Structure 1
Amino acid sequence: MQDPSITNSARSPDLERNDGGDFLMNQTVQNFSWRDLNVTVKDRETKQFRDLINSISGDAQHGELIALMGPSGCGKTTLLNVLARRAASSGAKVIGETYVNDSQVDSKTFQRMTSYVEQEDALIGSLTVQETLKFAADLSLTGSVPKIQRMERIRTLLEAFGIQKQANTIVGTPIRKGISGGQKRRVSVASQLITCPKILFLDEPTSGLDSTASYEVISYAKELARVNNLIIIASIHQPSTTTFKLFDKLLLLSSGRTCYFGKTENTESYFDSIGYSIPLQTNPAEFLLDLVSSDFSGSKEPAGERVRAIQNAWKESAQSILVDSQICERVNSAEKGTKSWTEEDMTRPNGLSITMALLRRSFIKSYRDVVAYGIRIIMYLGLAIMMGTVWLRLHPSQEYIQPFTNAIFFGSAFMSFMAVAYVPAFLEDRATFAKERANGLYGATPFMISNFIIGLPFLFLISILFSIISYWLSNFQPTAEAFFTWVMWIFLDLVAAESLVVLVTAIFPNFVIALALVAFANGLWMSVGGFLVTPKILNPFWKYVFHYIDYQAYVFQGMMVNEFSKRNYSCGAGCQCMYTTDLADQCLIRGTGVLESYGYATGRTGKWAGILVGIIAVYRLLGWIALYLRKN
């Protein structure tokens, strides 16, 4: 029996009404069709081309909910990606045509009139449900839509999806529990409906949900399609009987070929006509999946032969021929002068508005999500206490020169090394960006700018807190100028380290790989930075290939100059000075003598800081290029 709450939500105000803004497109999508779609890839072992999708045609009318169904590996997600004009597979070749209102539209325009909900909910866990929809509106609706109308639209969506009671509940993080899995799916769909897409693609919307939650999600999708004249195409694995009957049409696939396409209510009569009757009291979806699976044989005939027979029966059926002929007839008779969608019909916020929205969203995420910066602040405070107490109250005498140097190396190297803790936070941001970029909301530039800016105040806070504890406990040069110079180097060190994380994670969006590469890179920078082996005797290969691009090297020598350039150290009893300087007759060591042993000159702080800023800029630029070129 249907849940009353579902029926009530279906009666909520429709989502297509004109709120006075220019974000509604001037045309309605009456139909969406595809003809002779083929996807081929080259097999890595045989080097021969094989089909992922073979000669698939179909169409959908406004208000319809279409199911893409088939056994695992049949090509559901591949077909859904092709229909949504996304990358089908690495190195895949796509042939075929898709039509909107029986006409072809360019990819950019198509992207603006459609939305795609990923199988995995790429939601920001630290935002509330209402904030998630608010930022979706800020990133997609132009400034000509007043704030009051945006909030009204958000309220409408919350009511339509039955999640108004969860409006102020966070989505949920690994540390803080939020809304349920079914509610997350509804939030994902609702956030894509802010822009009134005409075609909505859902990739496994019931994945990980029980039968009740699955029915709930598909019920909402059906009502949205009916009430708002949307076309919704969803890939689905194994729906229950009640969920299966909610779909208007079924496209059944096996091994990349069509086994059936038509009204869901006609599946029983069609399969009965080709000799495969659906038994009574049987879940039709489950029966059809078993029927077209080529992995297991039935009792009467081998699975492969059965599937080929079903595919051939469809190809030769009157329904298949009718689908192709209707698409061809409509396309050929389409009016040539029909106005198509233009950029003006679908204006979106400018780059500045998007960047500001991303900054606001990132700020909320940063102070709420302890994984992003909270845990890191605690880690760095612990490191500061450890450093300050291990190197406690060092004295300006020669036996403490090496401990001073060790403390400088530890403070600079391990501060940057611990930036690996930023990898999971950036991976979450990157996943959100990939989803929103694929839906045409914004590109790599505003994402990288907002990511860089939002990190600066937090990294500066970490630098100050770390320095206040460690600098004075260790008794470095006790002047305000030296202290704030130390803070500057720590800050630049952290910004460079985080920029390295962004670069590596942008190229390799995998937690284990990114973590390993960032750790390896920091180990490399420690080795060639100048402390373990001084630049004077460092192997030429490592010196000229890596030392001069090592941001830790500039931080270390900057800190060394900050400590030793204006400080003298006593030689102790007997005046046996470790370093010979012009103060030897006074039983003192001038700090510049220590710097000379490393080959460091004074008066180059500005130059080294400039080089460090340049390295940061290069890391960020390369990260931007990586995100710009990668499409997933």
Structure 2
Amino acid sequence: MIGNDFYTLELSNVFYSGQVEPGSCMQRIIGNIKTGVILKDVSMSVHSGEVLAVLGSKGSGKKALLDVISRRVQGPVRGQILLNNQPMGVCLFQQRCGYVTHKCDLIEGLTVEQTLYYTPTRLTGYLKKSKVKQVMADMALSQVSNRCIENLTKSEYRRLMIGIQLIKDPVILLLDEPTWDLDPLNTYLVVSILSNAAKKYGSAVVLTMEKPRSDVFPFLDRVLYLCLGDTVYAGGTRQMLEYFDAIEFPCPQLENPLMYYLCLSTVDRRSRERFLESNHQIAELVEKFKIEGGIYRKGTVITPTHPAEYKSPLLLGKIGAFNVAWTIYVRLLAATLSFKKSGIKQACLRLFLIPLYFALLWVFYRNTGLYQHTFVTRSGLVLNSLAGVYFLAVLNTVLLYPVYRTRYFQESQEGLYGGTIFLLTYNLVSIPFSFLSCLAAGAIIFPIIGSFENPMEYLYFSLILWACYMFAEQHTMASLMIVKDHLLAAIFNIYIICVCLTLSSGILRSIKGLQDWLFLITYATQPRYAAAFLNRQVFLFKDLNKPLPFDLKHNCTNMNLIETSILNGIANPYCRYASGQSFLSERYARDPGDNIFNGILDADLNIGITFAFTLGMIVFNMFLYLIPLPAFVKAKFRE
């Protein structure tokens, strides 16, 4: 073994009660779920350099045992779980142990080497690079080091998942079904690699298997057979044959002993008679092991030279927050700027989707002309600009964010970092891209509604678009915290945006036509302020401060007659708006004497509150991701 330290994981009389049947979301919220005893008086031990296989049929409690050891369960646990005679707590497990779950969602666009290197550890620089190369060699991944993870085979992906945990030098490594759905050759490869890694690094490996093959028998130092939470056998693999011979259950020749005794420990449900017979037989096996299995439980231990000396303390302290944040940030940046298919897709969505949309708007709105219809046309342009950045922000977020969200939930279970670091690093990557994208979009569409003679007007236009984009992105990220389905999250957020735009933008429905209680609600929506700022910017443009003709044939120069006809209730068939100011008054003035330009259309107030909504949503998300979620909510992102 590379490490000279010797570690022992011991479980003594462990009982665990938890949920035994799946329940609906509402049942879980109100606590109306069926619970029962899942693990019953389980005792076992495993030492450095050993591989222990937990065997049992589906529902036997294999995964529950790993969750109990890793302290991830929510139900009551009785008994002792000790690492070198110290109680196994959450902090101790997260710092010194590793857990390879059945499913792990790695970040697309990264290569195998990048995925390993960007795993937060205490190692940095040259030492970390050396460790990555060593782990890739041990996991037989050196030949695919530059291959993207989405192009890996099942076996390579599983070995990469194991390598991510080995990078952290765990003294105890738990694995949930690492050979599931692998062919015989790759099953043999994975188990042999785990055995070699256990002896090389001095780790104690605990893995679950549902269908063990005979060729993995030599690599298993210990086995634990479970049936409905009861222990049928726990001890050395080679002593297992001796034990079952002693209780008159010898393994027939040419049979796979691992599979034979697994079948012996499984309830036969093919008929009522077989169910009762097998259930009675298993109950006898459990009782016999309680009486006669004590001497087999310890198995053969490779005694270290100085078993009482542990050269490194169990608790090493957490990794520095700055180092973790920097690693996560660089990983996000590498995935986004990757020249692989996934990276190109992310970069295109972040940089070019919004400018492409505004290029289409430019095609449709470029020939608006300075006629009466330009008031309605430009109003539609403002609406489409706002709706576009809102909807595209939702689309980008549901396409790009979930993979990082799911990886965060998985890594937060390992205690690597929390929600604040995750959101901070994600925003540091997202904000520059969205800012450049909105600047480009503003440059495309602004010439239709303004002039580059005053660059500050263009900058304000682009900043409003950017603030709206960021708000919708943060709002969608908040909903994706608890909503796993991308489509449902998109529909929910788009519905909210549509309601806000209809209610408070003053475009689809004038502000002055709203009832008082609806008007008060508009104060709590960002589109009210963003639309008011853009409408003022568009309709107070110098080319709109004079009467505009209806078309080439009908002029609107005599505005006194127009205003008189309007006051007398006579509809003018051609000229409705005397100027951009009269258009804004129609949309926003609730009373004839209102000074809307120092009130609802105040430019400084509107741009300030628009950004205040965005900043407020970012801060709200920071707090939201610190709130402990129910286990069943977080579990759906890990399973």
TM-score range (shorter-chain normalised) is 0.7 to 0.9
Residues 446-465 of structure 1 aligned to structure 2 (within 5 Å):
446-465=421-440
**TM-score, reference length from structure 2:** 0.82
Per-residue CA shift, 1:583-608, capped at 9, x if unaligned? x9x99833232222232535633333
Residue 187 (structure 1) aligns with: 160
Report the 3-state secondary structure (helix = DSSP H, G, I; strand = E; otherwise coil) of the residue aligned with 2:199: helix
Given that 1:595 and 1:601 are in contact with CA atoms closer than 8 Å, whether structure 2 keeps it comes out as: no
After TM superposition, give the deviation of residue 104 of structure 1 in Å: 1.7
Q: Give, in angstroms, the shift of residue 417 of structure 1.
A: 1.1
**Residue 548 of structure 1 aligns with which residue?**
523
The letter for the 2-side match of 1:399 is H
Alignment of 1:36 with 2:36, yes or no, is no
1:394·1:475 contact (CA, 8 Å) conserved in 2? no
Residues 338/192 of structure 1: CA separation in 2 closer, same or farther (3 Å cut): closer
Residue 265 of structure 1: aligned partner: 238
CA change 1:446–1:48 in 2 (3 A) is closer
Q: Counterpart of 1:62 in structure 2: which amino acid?
A: S
Decide whether aligned partners of structure 1 residues 269 and 523 sit closer, same or farther in structure 2, where only a CA change above 3 A counts: farther
Q: Residue 225 of structure 1 aligns with which residue?
A: 198
Query: Does the CA-based 8 Å contact 2:61-2:229 persist in structure 1?
Result: yes
Post-superposition offset of 1:519:
2.9
Per the alignment, residue 98 of structure 1 pairs with 81
Question: 2 CA distance for matches of 1:543 and 1:245?
Answer: 76
Secondary structure of the corresponding residue to residue 533 of structure 1: coil
Matches for 1:59-70 after TM superposition, within 5 Å: 59-70=45-56
Residues 9 and 84 in structure 2, CA contact (< 8 A), matched pair in contact too: yes
Report how far residue 400 of structure 1 moved. 1.2
Cα deviations across residues 389-426 of structure 1 (Å, max 9, x unaligned)?
12222223321101101111111112211222322421
**Which residue number in structure 1 is paired with residue 369 of structure 2?**
395
Matching residue of 2:548: 571
Distance 1:280 1:323, change over 3 A: closer
SS of equivalent to 2:335:
helix
Aligned position for 1:486: 461
CA distance in 1, matches of 2:417, 2:149: 23
Instruction: Name the CA shift for 1:541/1:93 in 2 (closer, same or farther; >3 Å).
Output: farther
Query: What RMSD, in angstroms, separates the aligned Cα atoms of the two structures?
Result: 3.2
Question: Which residue of 1 is the match for residue 129 of structure 2?
Answer: 151
Q: Is the 8 A contact 1:367 1:374 kept in 2?
A: no
Aligned partner of 2:583 in structure 1 is 594
1:131 and 2:114 correspond: yes
Which of 324, 337, 362 is the equivalent residue of 2:332? Answer: 362
Q: Offset at 1:323?
A: 7.3
Cα deviation, 1:47-96, whole Å, max 9, x if unaligned, reads 6641222222211111111112221222221211111111x2xx523333
Q: Relative to structure 2, which stretch is displaced further, 312-321 or 64-73?
A: 312-321
What is the CA–CA distance in structure 2 between the aligned matches of 1:579 and 1:231, rounded to whole Å?
90
Counterpart Cα distance in 2 of 1:437 and 1:256: 28
Please, which of 354, 363, 366 is the counterpart of residue 380 of structure 1?
A: 354
User: d(CA) in 2 for partners of 1:520 and 1:550?
Assistant: 14
CA distance in 2, matches of 1:325, 1:63: 15
The structural deviation recorded for 1:499 is 0.7
Unaligned runs of 5+ in 2: 300-306, 568-574, 589-595, 635-639
1:416 aligns with 2:402: no
How far apart, CA to CA, are the structure 1 residues paired with 2:212 and 2:515? 64
- Tell me what 2:570 maps to: none
* Residue type at the aligned position of 1:490: L
2:95 partner amino acid:
R
Q: Answer yes or no: is the 8 Å Cα contact 1:405–1:560 preserved in 2.
A: yes
1:538 aligns with 2:504: no
Matches for 1:298-337 after TM superposition, within 5 Å: 301-317=273-289, 318-322=291-295
Contact 1:128 1:170 in 2 (8 A): yes
Q: 1:320 to 1:274 in 2, by over 3 A?
A: closer
Q: Confirm or deny: 8 A CA contact 1:35 1:324 kept in the other structure.
A: no
Between stretches 499-508 and 513-522, larger displacement belongs to 513-522
Partner of 2:602: 604
Contact 1:507 1:627 in 2 (8 A): no
Q: Call closer, same or farther: CA 1:48–1:228 in 2, change over 3 Å.
A: closer
Task: Find the aligned partners of 1:616 and 1:244 in 2 and give their Cα distance.
Answer: 59
Change (3 A) 1:55 1:125: same
Q: What amino acid is the match of 1:351? A: A
Which has the higher Rg, Structure 1 or Structure 2?
2
Where 2:45 maps in the other structure, the secondary structure is strand
What are the ranges of 5 or more consecutive residues in structure 1 without an aligned counterpart?
Answer: 1-13, 18-26, 173-177, 327-333
Q: How many residues align structurally?
A: 580
Partners of 2:54 and 2:226 within 8 A in 1: yes
Counterpart contact for 1:109–1:341, Cα < 8 Å: no
Residues 322/535 of structure 1: CA separation in 2 closer, same or farther (3 Å cut): farther
Cα distance between partner residues in 2 of 1:324 and 1:210: 31
Does residue 54 of structure 1 match 2:40?
A: yes
1:561 equivalent to 2:533? Answer: no
Hey, what does 1:241 align to over in structure 2? 214
Q: Which amino acid aligns with 2:118?
A: F
